[in-house]
Amino acid sequence: MQRRDFHRYTLAGAALAAAPLAWAQSANLREGTDYRALGKPVPVDTGPGQVEVLEFFSYSCIHCYRFEPLMTAWMRKLPKEIVVRRVPVGFNAAFEPLQRLYYTLEALGRLGDLHEAAFKAFHDERVRFNGLEVAADWAARRGVDRQAFTQTWQSFGVSGKVKRALQLQDAYEVDATPSLGIAGRYLVPGQAERTLIIADALIARVRQA
């Protein structure tokens, strides 16, 4: 778990088979422990009948790296009415290059093959994405046009998305990663695979309301 002050956090094994229980037991969730209800609802970017889920993460967060396979598998099983977006956090200025890396890869259509690779580069290969040059070198080695990467990194579009990510982070009162924002109403702190069980239950609650 990565936060403004770092806490130790143990990941259990992947037990996604337990998720259906959450749908039947959503009333048993403990507010303040399993999730937090937001005092002020956050506007969502989804239409009627859809539920927005935001994953707040950082490439520098080891627990986000370990959570990523669980999150990806969960996303693949979701019905089309559930819309998931990833939001790279910015707890301080040192996080901005990591945010720009994510949004640059997104703009260039390379998240599909390089999102997990960026996690691996940071944690396994010790690549510190602390600025444009390091990020551009890494991306170029993976077949990304360096000029296009640089121009996109420095673009108003990416700057705007970084600003929006900070706004969402503040609106959801995110203080640790990974965390999930549900429908502009709830924040689920990272609890390994249980995070997704809780998310399923809250999504069911929102859809039944």
In this structure, are residues 85 and 52 in contact, taking their beta carbons and an 8 Å threshold? Answer: yes
Domain annotation covers residue 4: no
Q: What is the pLDDT of residue 3?
A: 59
The per-residue pLDDT for range 55-64, each reduced to its tens digit, is 999 999 999 9
Cα 201 → chain centroid:
19
Q: What is the pLDDT of residue 14?
A: 35
Dist CA 202 CA 182 (whole Å): 7
Q: What is the pLDDT of residue 4?
A: 53
Q: Tens place of pLDDT for every residue, the chain, 209 residues?
A: 655 543 333 333 333 334 444 444 555 899 999 999 999 999 999 999 999 999 999 999 999 999 999 999 999 999 999 999 999 999 999 999 999 999 999 999 999 999 999 999 999 999 999 999 999 999 999 999 999 999 999 999 999 999 999 999 999 999 999 999 999 999 999 999 999 999 999 999 999 98
149: left (phi over 0), alpha (psi -120 to 50) or beta: alpha
Domain count, the chain: 1
Domain annotation covers residue 2: no
Q: Which helix (H) or strand (E) holds 85?
A: strand 82-88
Work out the number of other CB atoms within 10 angstroms of the CB of residue 152: 20
Domain annotation covers residue 95: yes
Domain annotation covers residue 1: no
| pTM summary value | 0.88
Domain annotation covers residue 72: yes
Strand order in the sheet with 82-88: 36-37, 186-189, 179-182, 51-57, 82-88
Domain annotation covers residue 103: yes
The range of the structural domain enclosing residue 179 comes to: 16-208
Dist CA 176 CA 110 (whole Å): 26
Amino acid letter for position 126: R
Dist CA 183 CA 18 (whole Å): 22
Dist CA 41 CA 68 (whole Å): 27
Which CATH number do you get for residue 103? 3.40.30.10
Domain annotation covers residue 164: yes
Domain annotation covers residue 22: yes
The per-residue pLDDT for range 83-125, each reduced to its tens digit, is 999 999 999 999 999 999 999 999 999 999 999 999 999 999 9
